Amino acid sequence: MKLVRYGERGAEKPGLLHVDGTIRDLSRVVRDIDGKALSDEGLSKLFWTDAGKLPIIPEGVRLGAPVAGVGKLIAIGLNYADHAEEAGLTVPPEPVVFMKATSAICGPDDDVEAPRGSEKLDWEVELAFVIGTRAKYVTLEDAMDHVAGYMICNDVSERSFQIERSGQWVKGKSHDTFAPLGPWLVTKDEIKDPQALDLWLNVNGVRRQTGTTATMVYGVAFLVHYLSQFMTLEPGDIITTGTPPGVGMGSRPPKFLHAGDVIELGITGLGSQRQVVVQA
């Protein structure tokens, strides 16, 4: 099942992508695609809904981020060995964990803002997953029981803010529009192995990133287990899992984004995104 949220920013409604390619309205079934809807009980209700009888939404409607009311947007750094190598860093002995502000969340095709004073705006195609049931001190064996589904995240980063301005990475990761999500949330029954997905990203039509989740250092199950030892993961929380090589900072010479650039990215089975960079 592919769940979406559609409509103007701040007024999105719940929907799903039907097998015929149309978007169907879920407003009479659930209030929104949030933690409650993504619980086992909520998803069961959606699975038993006759999608063919739901109203069809006109083509061309804007898609928002597929999950509403996100409590935590947690990110994992240096989670691909080849990306760590291009960054000149060693693979960490434990996951590198940081937060992105939830105000950075936007739709998959919304414009990406270059912040004022930005010098090193960068791209990162990533697999993100969403928590469906509360996770606290979860064992590795039970970890996947807490995952509701998967989607694409572009972990947009301002490298000079992130690395050269002291303090934590969050400063370079949290500007408005720095977390395009979607186009849809794919429930985990449709993704048999999250560690066997291809990722790609183009800038202005030129391939910049090509990778596979098979080379992730810490996989989805381990991350649920690991993070739940430090914080309770609540339904609707999102974890984005790191990026393969090919980011602008790692290019020789480095390449960064500017107003007018077009970013396109995708992951097997999860759709694709397209953003235009604009000046904030």
Residue 9 within a domain: no
Alpha helices in 22-179 (DSSP H): 40-47, 81-86, 159-163
Residue 262 within a domain: yes
Residue 20 within a domain: no
Number of domains in the chain: 1
* 198-203 β-sheet, strand order: 112-114, 271-279, 262-267, 198-203, 206-212
Q: Output the domain CATH number for residue 272.
A: 3.90.850.10
Residue 13 within a domain: no
Residue 30 within a domain: no
Residue 186 within a domain: yes
Per-residue pLDDT of the chain (280 residues), as tens digits, is 999 999 999 999 999 999 999 999 999 999 999 999 999 999 999 999 999 999 999 999 999 999 999 999 999 999 998 777 777 777 889 999 999 999 999 999 999 999 999 999 999 999 999 999 999 999 999 999 999 999 999 999 999 999 999 888 999 999 999 999 999 999 999 999 999 999 999 999 999 999 999 999 999 999 999 999 999 999 999 999 999 999 999 999 999 999 999 999 999 999 999 999 999 9
Residue 208 within a domain: yes
35 with 235: CB under 8 angstroms?
yes
* Backbone phi and psi for residue 20, each to the nearest 5 degrees, phi listed first: -85, 5
Residue 10 within a domain: no
pTM here?
0.96
Note down the domain range covering 189. Answer: 65-279
Lookup: tokens for 6: 């559609």
